[in-house]
Structure 1
Amino acid sequence: MIRAAFTNTEHGYGQESELVNKIRTSDEYVDGLELVVTQDKAILGYGLLSEVHIKNEDQSFTGLVLAPLAVRVGFQKKGVGRLLIKELEKRATKLNYRFISILGHPSYYPKFNYVPASEYNVRPPFSVPNEAFMIKPLFKGALDGISGTVRYSKAFD
């Protein structure tokens, strides 16, 4: 399902299924932050949050990255992605994480209050369009005084 969901997108399939397997065996995997939406035993959507860090010269702040988020072809634009995002955010908030970062489509994620990470002086570890690298604080003041570069787990290498 993940492979099919990404195959015909603007950027195509980028080894997202393999990424999931690598994250599951990494130290950054968090039990309870992996979701599957089903209907009549068919998988309609999948979402995974794993730990990342915003690092600067003096400090490191732990948060999460949403990768991947996938919805079965034929069920996109029907609320499955919204359901996954909202539930994952709820769970992340209960676990006291500060933020969720996303490298994603700039017209989709702002619907969920994700903004360019540069608005918080947070940078990606590689060159990407500013509008595609987004972040969302999970509570008021969550990103106050935080700046730096997001560092992903080795699973993303």
Structure 2
Amino acid sequence: MQIRTIHPTDYLAVDLLIRAAFTPTAFGYGNEAELVEKIRLSKEYIPELELVAVKNQMIVGHGLLSEVSLVHEKDQTIGLVLAPLAISPDTQKQGIGSQLMHELEARAQQLNYPFISILGHPDYYTKFGYVPAEYYLVKAPFDVPTEAFMIKSLTKDGLKKRPGMIQYPSAFNE
């Protein structure tokens, strides 16, 4: 299997993958493919942080990190948010999501981002070191279960003395 940066020729396959991955879940499909399209058109999009997993010449996984702001009074820190991480239903539980997460985090560290925030399943993301964001006094701008809104520092002091609220780009609100 290969993890690589997405190519524009992959967009249709990724759209179909995202729909297939989220439709059978407990929460169902929530316009994640449309969110990806909006993020790609935003200034918060970093092409090197959109990855695909390819197995037998088929795209079986996708992950996207984009910029968010952590705001406290007049202080603002730019970090990242994972949205979404999607694995083809017939290849789940094979470590593809883990490989995508590790590569996304490595690239984010190379680009000197201090943190990644996630709204997701705590049983899955805690194994990568994500903790409830409230641990760092970081809040979501909307009501969300505390255990599902998580964050991970990518640097030694990535979240020290940085309480505040995550502000998502407009792509998340449209």
Q: What's the TM-score bracket when you normalise by the shorter of the two chains?
A: over 0.9
Letter in 2 for 1:7: T
The match for 2:54 is 38
Shift of 1:141: 1.5
The match for 2:117 is 101
Give the alignment partner of residue 39 of structure 2, picking from 23, 37, 40.
23
SS of 2:93 mapped into structure 1: coil
Identify, as 1 or 2, the structure richer in helix: 2
What stretches of structure 2 of length at least 5 have no aligned partner? 1-16
Q: Percent of counterpart pairs with the same letter?
A: 57
Give the alignment partner of residue 86 of structure 2, picking from 58, 65, 70.
70
1:78-93 equivalences under 5 Å are: 78-93=94-109
Query: Does residue 13 of the first structure (1) align with residue 29 of the second (2)?
Result: yes
The match for 2:145 is 129
What stretches of structure 1 of length at least 5 have no aligned partner? none
Query: Does residue 149 of the first structure (1) align with residue 159 of the second (2)?
Result: no
Shift of 1:74: 1.3
SS of 1:107 mapped into structure 2: helix
Query: Does residue 54 of the first structure (1) align with residue 78 of the second (2)?
Result: no
Give the whole-Å Cα distance in 2 for the aligned partners of 1:36 and 1:100. 18
Shift of 1:31: 2.1
Calculate the TM-score normalised by the size of structure 2. 0.89
Calculate the TM-score normalised by the size of structure 1. 0.99
SS of 1:139 mapped into structure 2: coil
Letter in 2 for 1:114: Y
Shift of 1:77: 1.1
SS of 1:88 mapped into structure 2: helix
| Runs of 4+ in structure 1 over 3 Å off | none
